[in-house]
């Protein structure tokens, strides 16, 4: 368990300042202290192959990251297959001329876009993690994805 330090050295003049201080009362420099493990992590993060930006919380004892929302690939493929299974019979019920004419094509595009929107809204997920050095707790919704990050932060 890592206890939150109350005093940290100022990066500019070296004087001990409160961890909560926004600036150093002695020299006025901004308080740039972050947890040493986070600092180390940031210098070696490129080795993890994870390109997402990382963010700190206010106290700089917590680091977190998240990916863009993405639909898992297998759900995407199933969606395309489902769309084709639904659309082709419907198209073939009409005349072939209607199905593959301008109206049919516009209808197909509109239905595909609506379908895609629904799939995106229901299945798109972020992969997130958060490491809190105050309580030494690691939380993520995809340990496999964040494994190199977790290894560096919890070692
Ligand atoms: Zn200072």
Write down the domain spans for the chain. Answer: 73-123
- What is the distance in A from the centroid of ligand 1 to the CA of 21? 11
pLDDT tens by residue, 80-131: 898 888 777 776 776 555 566 677 778 778 888 888 899 889 999 899 999 9
pTM for the predicted model, two decimal places = 0.68
Mean pLDDT across the stretch 128-145? 92
Residue for token pair 């299945």: 123
d(CA 104, CA 96): 9
- What is the distance in A from the centroid of ligand 1 to the CA of 126? 39
pLDDT at 1 over 60: no
Residue for token pair 């890592």: 2
- What is the distance in A from the centroid of ligand 1 to the CA of 32? 10
Is-contact 7 19, C-beta < 8 A?
yes
pLDDT tens by residue, 52-89: 888 887 678 899 999 988 888 888 898 889 888 877 77
pLDDT tens by residue, 14-23: 999 998 888 9
């Amino acid at each position: 368990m890592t206890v939150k330090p109350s005093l940290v050295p100022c990066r500019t003049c070296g004087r001990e300042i409160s961890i909560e201080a926004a600036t150093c009362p002695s020299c006025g420099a901004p308080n740039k202290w972050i947890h040493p493990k986070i600092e180390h992590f940031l210098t070696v993060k490129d080795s993890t192959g994870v390109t997402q930006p990382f963010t700190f919380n206010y106290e700089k004892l917590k680091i977190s990251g998240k990916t863009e929302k993405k639909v898992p690939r297998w759900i995407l493929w199933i969606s395309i297959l489902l769309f084709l299974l639904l659309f082709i019979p419907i198209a073939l019920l009409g005349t072939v001329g209607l199905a593959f004419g301008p109206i049919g094509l516009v209808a197909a595009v509109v239905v595909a876009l609506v379908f895609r929107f629904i799939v995106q809204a229901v299945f798109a997920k972020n992969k997130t993690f958060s490491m809190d050095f105050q309580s030494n707790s690691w939380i993520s919704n995809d340990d496999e994805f964040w494994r190199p990050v977790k290894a560096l932060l919890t070692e």
